[in-house]
Amino acid sequence: MRHPRRPRSWMQWTRRVSQAVFLLLFIGLAISVRLGDASSPGWGPRFFFDLDPLTALATALASRSMEVIAWPVVVLVVVTVFLGRFFCGWICPLGTVHTLATALRPRKPRAADNRRSPWHRVKYVVLVALLVMALFGVHWTGIFDPIPLMFRSLTTFVLPGAQYGIEDSATAVYQADPHIGPARATWITEPVYRFFRNYVFQVDRQALDGGVFIAFWFMLIVGLNFWKPRFWCRYICPLGGLLGLLARKPLLRLRTKEGTCTGCGLCAMACPAAAQPDQPGQWLPSECYGCWNCVASCSRGGITFSFAKAENGKRPTVGEVDFSRRAALGSAVAGAIAVTGFRQSPQAQEVVYNPWLIRPPGALPEREFLQRCIQCGLCMRVCPTNALHPCALEAGLEGLWTPRLIPKVGYCEYNCTLCGQVCPTGAIQPLTVEAKHQVKLGLAMFNKNRCLPYAYDRNCIICEEHCPVPDKAIYFVEEEITRRDGSKIVLKRPHVDPDKCVGCGICEWSCVFRDEAAVRVTSANESRNNANQPILPGESGDSPY
């Protein structure tokens, strides 16, 4: 069957432009975080986090503080109540990715793909369960919330992947240097490489530990568009659910002109939300993204969005949200069970601490940190040394994709406070450089069975060289030792001063061993945890007696 030509709708095109602008803005802001002034991240993508009501609500519940609620959230909530879920159709960068993926479907959606389904209520179930979890301090909305989800995906694999693709292709050409006579391929590739190097990426790309699982999650939810259009937005997205609950009775409503509808179903085929535009009086405002596809699709021009009331003084009737009190109660119970389950580990109950869970400088105590962190990955993106990585299970299931420092990959730069400056929820507190110098992330320890001057009788001391503490937390003692052949040499053997060590990890990073460093930093002595302070400050007493 041939698709009839769609009438034009300038609103539909305005919406597409809006989607493109916000998506590009989101990506551009993510790129800009690593450019320019090394002491300030600039504006960053903060705007999007400040606009996100789910992040604001869940963080407020989890941290029991209102400071995370910024004015753009208030504006968005008010606008949604009056105009509907237009955020999903016009602004949400992840929504735009889904729109693009839906457009790439090999098969155009049929009316049957876009019928109302009981699955619509899953997003409300997810929403309520997540909010109940947040109330008990398990802040898991970031795993599902499109803004953190999208940013985390950009950070962990989209942007590093783009940089890898461009730079390494150019470098491969540069190194092979193919040419025909005087003409060289590098004449084209090198200017491209330089443009990206100087204006887009500037510094070396990041590689994030475990980013592949975040990529998998992202690919999965994008791939689901091939099953049902905007599957994620329709059925799963808890932010969509929250906005949907706010938009149950908007002032702006879909209106079908009397006597125009032939029941052809074109509008239903065009509706990515399955919001029933084809059933006058039963249109679902809590599902509708306000995308204007239905208006554009109606060959008789019978559908409009309008604030106007009908002759009887009433607005058109709308369909109800399909989420019963019983379902809500069930979701809440499920959330409570999840919290209980997540907490059944020695670490969650603070019996032990994970030695390799080193949090960024300025991170709140673990419990409070988890009540605020939305796993967005902004700290990882801004980190100049590629030190911060998403946790797998190092912080428990509760701490999935929260940031941890892996010193062997990147250390915490002594004068850098960027992660605290960008954190949208205050899980990492902003610090002045002076305050940051006092913060201990952990404590270095030497593995004397590996460290060259101890284990292999060779001089080395790179760790001492790199130690950024002005009077050196790593110091060395010169010792004369006897070699295999009986000759004597002097070795500089390193030690750690636990009072001075800030746990930045540059010793581990700089260690000549690239598999497992001979000096490692564990979370012991971290400033944020009084219970994890094994070392009594000051020198030890002179005598054990």
Residues lying near another protein in the complex (CB under 8 A)? 37-39, 167-168, 171, 174-175, 197, 202-204, 384-385, 413-416, 452, 458-462, 464-472, 476, 492, 510-512
Cβ atoms 394, 356 nearer than 8 A: yes
Least CB distance to another protein at residue 128 (A): 44
Q: Which is nearer to another protein, 38 or 219 (CB)?
A: 38
Distances in Å between the alpha carbon of 484 and those of 209, 410, 458, 478?
A: 42, 37, 13, 19
Least CB distance to another protein at residue 449 (A): 18
Sorted by sequence, the CB contacts under 8 Å of residue 209 that are 6+ apart come out as: 389, 390, 406, 409
Least CB distance to another protein at residue 470 (A): 4
Least CB distance to another protein at residue 86 (A): 39
Q: Which runs of E-coded beta strand occur in 199-350?
A: 253-256, 303-306
Residues in the chain: 545
Q: Which is nearer to another protein, 190 or 368 (CB)?
A: 190
Q: Is 86 left (phi over 0), alpha (psi -120 to 50) or beta?
A: alpha
Q: Which is nearer to another protein, 37 or 311 (CB)?
A: 37
Sorted by sequence, the CB contacts under 8 Å of residue 405 that are 6+ apart come out as: 358, 359, 360, 387, 388, 389, 411, 412, 441, 505
Cβ atoms 430, 421 nearer than 8 A: yes
Q: Which is nearer to another protein, 14 or 415 (CB)?
A: 415
User: How do 403-405 and 388-390 pair as beta strands?
Assistant: antiparallel
Q: Which is nearer to another protein, 471 or 542 (CB)?
A: 471
Distance, in Å, from the CA atom of 369 to the CA atom of 523, rounded to the nearest integer, reads 15
Least CB distance to another protein at residue 10 (A): 45
Least CB distance to another protein at residue 107 (A): 42
HSE-up (13 A, CA, CB side) for residue 235: 16
Q: Which is nearer to another protein, 198 or 312 (CB)?
A: 198
Least CB distance to another protein at residue 486 (A): 21
Least CB distance to another protein at residue 416 (A): 6
Q: Which is nearer to another protein, 320 or 457 (CB)?
A: 457
| Neighbour count for residue 368 (Cβ, 10 Å) | 17
Q: Is 42 left (phi over 0), alpha (psi -120 to 50) or beta?
A: left
Q: Which is nearer to another protein, 168 or 320 (CB)?
A: 168
Q: Which of 147, 119, 120, 122 is nearest to 57 (CA)?
A: 147
Least CB distance to another protein at residue 248 (A): 49
Least CB distance to another protein at residue 523 (A): 23
Q: Which is nearer to another protein, 179 or 458 (CB)?
A: 458
Q: Which is nearer to another protein, 238 or 494 (CB)?
A: 494
User: Dihedral sign, CA of 442, 447, 453, 459?
Assistant: negative
Q: Report CA dihedral (390, 394, 398, 401) to the nearest 10 degrees.
A: 10
Q: Which is nearer to another protein, 164 or 226 (CB)?
A: 164
Per DSSP, the residues of 421-484 read: HH-SSSSB----HHHHHT----EEEE-TTTSHHHHT-----HHHHH--STT-SEEEEEEEEE-T
Q: Which is nearer to another protein, 237 or 511 (CB)?
A: 511
Q: Which of 390, 410, 409 is nearest to 400 (CA)?
A: 390
Distance, in Å, from the CA atom of 248 to the CA atom of 252, rounded to the nearest integer, reads 11
Least CB distance to another protein at residue 34 (A): 8
Q: Which is nearer to another protein, 156 or 510 (CB)?
A: 510
Per DSSP, the residues of 256-296 read: E-TTT-----HHHHH-TT---TTSTT---TTT-----HHHH
Distance, in Å, from the CA atom of 403 to the CA atom of 211, rounded to the nearest integer, reads 12
* Beta-bridge partners for 522: 443
Least CB distance to another protein at residue 153 (A): 24
* Beta-bridge partners for 403: 390
Least CB distance to another protein at residue 466 (A): 6
